[in-house]
């Protein structure tokens, strides 16, 4: 018996086929329409419905490239279940190179949204109703904010033995943050509906970081295999070890000035260790940035200019820091070609 078609935004996708769908979202001032681009790959056999989306923040473009490469993967042949791939959710921000919507709202704080609310609320409501509510599992792709970069990491609310934890372990990022849900985020909305969801954070806004993109594609494919969506023989890579962080803290600028960092992304640091110095242009005033905990640098500023109190280095804390350091070193050595000198 043939599998039933998959319906999304008024379009029927037959089993064993793939279809690109433009979901109407709004119009520009010029009356030109804007669409959320979606591609649905509907397998011949039943299985999970996985949503993989990028660009909820419009300037976070690593996820756009991850989705593009995912859709070109030959491993999707013989897919079981359904893949909903959305490279760009916040099309307004994407065309303006901006994290935000035109009304300066953060779309990832607008869920579940409202059809009669603000622009952010309306976009969130449309994305939720037309796309998110069809999914059984979600992978949400992000990067650091503008002028900040993140070590590849998974953020998720973990329940021991739960589906989200299994997905997180399968992904293969070197660090997993057991992160609380933020109200208004896609993760908060989906998790409260019982939909397991991972947030993949890696790289910097408005940049293509190959050391973030390649592991992102591999990670999504690993999760799909873990969910039983991909079958058949292929050249298997062992899943890299991952360590769960039990918390994180930011080291902040002690004064206004220009930052000279002393550590790199992924470095192991000790509480009180010197991470960098901030000085005025003449060097008359200088302040030291020191680690607030023993841990690993999982995020840092890429902009040397800093205001007092600005977050500069993101330090994740681990119960087994040696294992975390080893996991990051293994991840580093698995990258081909060698990563950016920052890492």
Give per-residue pLDDT as tens, 19-75: 999 999 988 888 899 999 999 999 999 999 999 999 999 999 999 999 999 999 999
**Contact assessment for residue 156 and residue 180, using Cβ atoms and an 8 Å cutoff:** no
Which residue in 304, 305, 155 sits closest to 242, CA to CA?
155
Distance CA 152, CA 299 (A): 9
What pTM, to 2 d.p., does this model score?
Answer: 0.94
Is the peptide bond preceding residue 54 cis, with omega within 30 degrees of 0?
no
Q: Are 314 and 266 within 8 A, CB to CB? A: no
Q: What is the mean pLDDT of the chain?
A: 93
Other Cβ atoms within 10 Å of 23 Cβ, number: 19
What are the tens digits of pLDDT across the range 87-139? 999 999 999 999 999 999 999 999 999 999 999 999 999 999 999 999 999 99
Alpha carbon 182 to its chain's center:
15
Q: What percent of the chain has pLDDT over 70?
A: 96
> What separation in angstroms does the CA of 236 have from each of 48, 231, 240, 296?
22, 12, 12, 29
Q: Is pLDDT at 327 greater than 90 in this prediction?
A: no
Give dist(CA 168, CA 147) in Å, integer.
Answer: 27
Set out the domains of the chain in order of their start, with CATH numbers. 6-227 (3.40.630.10), 247-321 (2.40.50.100)
Q: Which two tokens stand for residue 259?
A: 């930052």
How does residue 236 score in pLDDT terms, banded at 50, 70 and 90?
A: low
pLDDT at 234 over 60: no
Provide, rounded to the nearest whole percent, the portion of the chain with pLDDT above 90: 84
């Amino acid at each position: 018996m043939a599998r039933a078609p998959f319906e999304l935004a008024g379009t029927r996708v037959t089993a064993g086929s793939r279809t690109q769908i433009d979901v109407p979202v709004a119009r520009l001032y010029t009356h030109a329409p804007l669409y959320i681009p979606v591609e649905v790959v509907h397998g011949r056999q039943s299985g999970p419905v996985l949503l993989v989306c990028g660009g909820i923040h419009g300037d976070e473009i690593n996820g756009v490239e991850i989705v593009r490469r995912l859709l070109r993967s030959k491993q999707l042949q013989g897919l079981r279940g359904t893949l909903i791939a959305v490279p760009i959710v916040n099309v307004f921000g994407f065309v303006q190179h901006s994290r935000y919507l035109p009304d300066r709202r953060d779309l990832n704080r607008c869920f579940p949204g409202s059809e009669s609310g603000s622009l952010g609320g309306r976009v969130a409501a449309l994305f939720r109703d037309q796309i998110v509510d069809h999914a059984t599992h979600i992978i949400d792709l992000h990067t650091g904010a503008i002028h900040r970069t993140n070590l590849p990491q998974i953020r998720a609310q973990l329940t021991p033995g739960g589906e989200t934890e299994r997905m997180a372990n399968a992904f293969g990022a070197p660090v997993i943050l057991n992160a609380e849900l933020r109200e208004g985020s896609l993760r908060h909305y989906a998790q409260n509906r019982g939909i397991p969801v991972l947030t993949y954070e890696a790289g910097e806004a408005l940049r293509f970081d190959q050391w973030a993109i390649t592991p992102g594609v591999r990670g999504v494919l690993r999760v799909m295999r873990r969910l039983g969506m991909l079958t058949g023989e292929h050249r298997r890579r062992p899943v890299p070890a991952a360590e769960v962080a039990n918390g994180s803290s930011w080291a902040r600028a002690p004064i206004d000035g220009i930052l000279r960092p002393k550590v790199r992304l992924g470095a192991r640091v000790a509480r009180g260790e010197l991470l960098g110095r901030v000085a005025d242009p003449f060097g008359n005033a200088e302040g030291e940035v020191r680690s607030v905990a023993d841990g690993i640098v999982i995020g840092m500023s890429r902009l040397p200019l800093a205001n007092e109190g600005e977050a500069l280095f993101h330090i994740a804390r681990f119960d087994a820091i040696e294992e975390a350091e080893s996991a990051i070193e293994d991840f580093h050595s698995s990258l081909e070609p060698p990563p950016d000198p920052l890492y």
